Amino acid sequence: MTVIDARHHTAIASYALGANDFGELAVRGNDSRVYIMGRSSPPTGTPVPQIQAFDTSTHAVAVRSDLAQGTGRLAYSRTTDTVFALLDLVNGSTLTAFDPETLSPVRSTAFTRDSGALGSSLDGDTLYANLFAPAASAETDAVALIDPVSLGVRSEVPAEHDLIDVKAVEGRNPSEAAFVKTVSFANVVLPSGPAIHAFNVTTRAVRQVAPMGGTSVQALTVPAGGRFGYALATLRQGQPFFSGFDLDGRPRSGAAQPPSIGPLDSTPADAVSCTYRLDTASVSFSASGTASVPRGPSGAAVHVTTDCTWHARAGSSSVHLSTTGGLGNGLVTITVDPNTTGQTRQMTVVIGGQFVTVTQGGPSTQGPFGFIDTPQDGAAGLSGAIAISGWAIDDVAVDRVEIFRDPAPTELQVQIPVGTATFVEGARPDVQSAFPSLPFASRAGWGYLLLTNMLPGGGDGTYRFHVYAQDIEGQRTLLGSRTIGASNATASRPFGTIDTPASGEVVSGTIVNWGWALTPQPGVIPADGSTITVLVDDVPVGRPTNGLERSDIVTLFPNYQNTTSAVGFFVLDTTTLANGLHTLAWVVRDNMNRVQGVGSRFITVQNR
């Protein structure tokens, strides 16, 4: 199997699969697996049809499933997270649904007609199957629109020609110059040769997009966010080629027909290099649609970062977007209609070719669940800043994680709010791996940095904390409680924190990293910052400009040597870092050679 860069038309990598006669692929919605239809290669005996699941993280086949007979086509439905195989048998055909992890058959239905192509709509709500009637049958050739849950045929559209392949993609309606809901591009064999057709599922009209001349078209695709479609593995004199066709059906570059783009190992002169980054791949809503994660002024806000033109569209009529596209960086606000389906539902939005999963709660949902990782219950002798951290997840979305403490004897005898934790994208891959199908599994990790010096009694004594997770629908769960002993009066190491950037913050360009540090008497931290080191991913990157005064620190900590010079800042150029998750911390050493790390946190770098 060869991985190809869809923008530059170059091969990236190839993997041996240990079988032969491959020719059909389907990709899982989260890109974790590629499903491959082929035939096994036993040492002895006859090869049998086989589906393989290729794991994109390990670059190896994770599981195989042999089929009794037939040759087939594959499709994947985002709605049901299911792989489908349409198998053409000696008499008739079968459509079978397979579990995406085990490739065990889940359900199946039979057709008396033979089968050809199989495809899925972008939102996964409809399967398209080409069915051929036997010669003496009263049935007709048709494209069947099939429910992926029941496998029942919803309706049929007559097929005038042999359908070889079908893909659901974003298409433009040239008469309206607007985006249509879903278009399936079909590779059709005409008497004059193969051609690419577009089937509009809203109007059920078929229009020809591009004849492909006399070439032998094997399959086709349209990369997400692409301007053109591509017929793949078009054979000319034994050499594999791409052939391009404009999604609007208009000739490309003034040519009478879309020209072949070139062999797989070349890059066309007009190839466009664009990147599109979103600040989230998931949004969630309550059943009423009034509450969302992430929160925006009037819905769920998704930011797109790019230098290029981008388009946005919703895969369901129940989802609404504030804009359908733009040029350069932009914001798309997503809203949804009230959910009247009686169950939690998932829908899809595509922005700049990137998928965003929209989850909306139903009338009956589960409350959040999770765990407190730090501190350990009963931990003693703590001082300075400590991390209260863990993870929380929900079937729709966790809205917030709040930390409370038991009151001191002199306080009102109710739980006292301490603060709200920050969720950190990518901080807990173990939780994401354990619950891959739950929304926001990638940002299940949360953390809160508590300065114990600020607790009642100056941070000396025993304190009990309680952590609650609340989901988007208002359901609240106690994740746990922890008791700690703090001893700041006898602490002997520096303490402080980082003020900016916040824990879990998404940053770009050049940022100012503010923080402060003090040390117990009789020690002192040099005001020039020469004993403070800024670490990014545990690697020293510089020292802060230090020695600044801040009134709140002077008020709270009046009896320290460097109370009036505790604050410093460091200018960090994030363009020198790779996009993604990084750690940021200060390490402070005083004149008595006492060392302590302060303010450790995750940040996410997102540059163009």
**Domain extent at residue 519:** 495-605
Length of the chain: 608
The CATH number of residue 582's host domain is 2.60.40.650
Using DSSP bridges, classify how beta strands 114-120 and 127-132 pair: parallel, antiparallel or unpaired. antiparallel
Task: Give the whole-angstrom CA distance, residue 123 versus residue 547.
Answer: 57
In a domain, 78, yes or no: no
What pLDDT is recorded for position 266?
A: 36
- Is the pLDDT confidence value at 583 over 60? yes
430: region left, alpha or beta (phi > 0 left; psi from -120 to 50 alpha): alpha
Structure tokens at 55: 């794991």
Which of residues 267, 287, 302 is at a domain's end? 267
What pLDDT is recorded for position 125?
A: 79
Using DSSP bridges, classify how beta strands 416-420 and 385-393 pair: parallel, antiparallel or unpaired. unpaired
In a domain, 93, yes or no: no
In a domain, 245, yes or no: yes
Q: Are 224 and 292 part of one and the same domain? A: no
Q: Are 481 and 510 part of one and the same domain? A: no
Q: Which residue has the higher pLDDT, 472 or 18?
A: 472
Query: In the 3-class helix/strand/coil scheme, how is 199-239 assigned residue by residue?
Result: EECCCCEEEEEEECCCCECCEEECCCCCCEEEEEEEEECCE
Q: Are 585 and 502 part of one and the same domain? A: yes
CB 246 within 8 A of CB 276: no
Q: Are 326 and 228 part of one and the same domain? A: no
Structure tokens at 198: 């577009």
207: region left, alpha or beta (phi > 0 left; psi from -120 to 50 alpha): beta
Q: State the residue for tokens 């490309």.
A: 252
Interacting residues of 332 by C-beta distance below 8 A, sequence separation 6+: 301, 302, 304, 312, 321, 322, 323, 349, 351
What pLDDT is recorded for position 284?
A: 92
Which of residues 211, 235, 267 is at a domain's end? 267
Q: Are 260 and 322 part of one and the same domain? A: no
Q: Are 186 and 287 part of one and the same domain? A: no
CB 604 within 8 A of CB 503: no
Q: What is the pTM of this model?
A: 0.53
Q: Which residue has the higher pLDDT, 2 or 193?
A: 2
Q: State the residue for tokens 């035939």.
A: 39
Band of residue 25 on the pLDDT scale cut at 50, 70, 90: confident
The CATH number of residue 283's host domain is 2.60.40.10
Task: Give the whole-angstrom CA distance, residue 160 versus residue 64.
Answer: 36
In a domain, 386, yes or no: yes
In a domain, 244, yes or no: yes
Q: Which residue has the higher pLDDT, 386 or 234?
A: 386
Interacting residues of 160 by C-beta distance below 8 A, sequence separation 6+: 141, 206
In a domain, 3, yes or no: no
CB 446 within 8 A of CB 391: yes
pLDDT digits (tens, 9 = 90+) for 75-116: 888 778 899 988 877 778 889 999 999 999 999 998 888 777
Q: Which residue has the higher pLDDT, 42 or 547?
A: 547
- Is the pLDDT confidence value at 417 over 80? yes
Tell me the β-bridge partners of 36.
Answer: 25, 52
Q: Are 296 and 347 part of one and the same domain? A: yes
- Is the pLDDT confidence value at 46 over 90? no
Q: Are 483 and 376 part of one and the same domain? A: yes
Q: Within 10 Å of residue 137's Cβ, how many Cβ atoms?
A: 10
pLDDT digits (tens, 9 = 90+) for 122-164: 667 788 887 877 766 777 777 788 898 999 998 887 765 555 4
Q: Which residue has the higher pLDDT, 152 or 270?
A: 152
Which of residues 267, 300, 331 is at a domain's end? 267
Q: CA of 351: how far to CAs of 48, 119, 178, 281, 396, in Å?
A: 41, 22, 16, 10, 21
H or E element at residue 372? strand 369-374
Q: Are 319 and 400 part of one and the same domain? A: no
pLDDT digits (tens, 9 = 90+) for 446-463: 999 898 988 999 899 999
| Lowest model confidence (mean pLDDT) among 130-134, 146-150, 402-406, 551-555 | 130-134
- Is the pLDDT confidence value at 354 over 90? no
In a domain, 35, yes or no: no
Q: Within 10 Å of residue 47's Cβ, how many Cβ atoms?
A: 14
What distance, in Å, lies between the first and last C-alpha atoms of the chain? 30
262: region left, alpha or beta (phi > 0 left; psi from -120 to 50 alpha): left
Residue 389 amino acid letter:
S
Structure tokens at 201: 């599922």
Q: Within 10 Å of residue 524's Cβ, how many Cβ atoms?
A: 16
Task: Give the whole-angstrom CA distance, residue 91 versus residue 111.
Answer: 9
Q: Which of 393, 509, 404, 483 is nearest to 448 (CA)?
A: 404
Tally of domains within the chain: 4
φ, ψ for residue 227 (rounded to 5)?
A: -90, -25
Mean pLDDT of 476-485: 96
**pLDDT averaged over the chain?**
78
- Is the pLDDT confidence value at 400 over 90? yes
What pLDDT is recorded for position 252?
A: 37
In a domain, 565, yes or no: yes
pLDDT digits (tens, 9 = 90+) for 310-322: 888 887 889 999 9
pLDDT digits (tens, 9 = 90+) for 206-262: 544 555 544 455 555 544 444 445 444 344 444 444 445 444 443 333 333 333 333
**What's the sign of the alpha-carbon dihedral 545, 548, 552, 554?**
positive
CB 303 within 8 A of CB 278: yes
Q: Are 503 and 403 part of one and the same domain? A: no
Q: Are 409 and 432 part of one and the same domain? A: yes
What pLDDT is recorded for position 57?
A: 75
Q: Which residue has the higher pLDDT, 193 or 508?
A: 508
Q: Are 190 and 291 part of one and the same domain? A: no
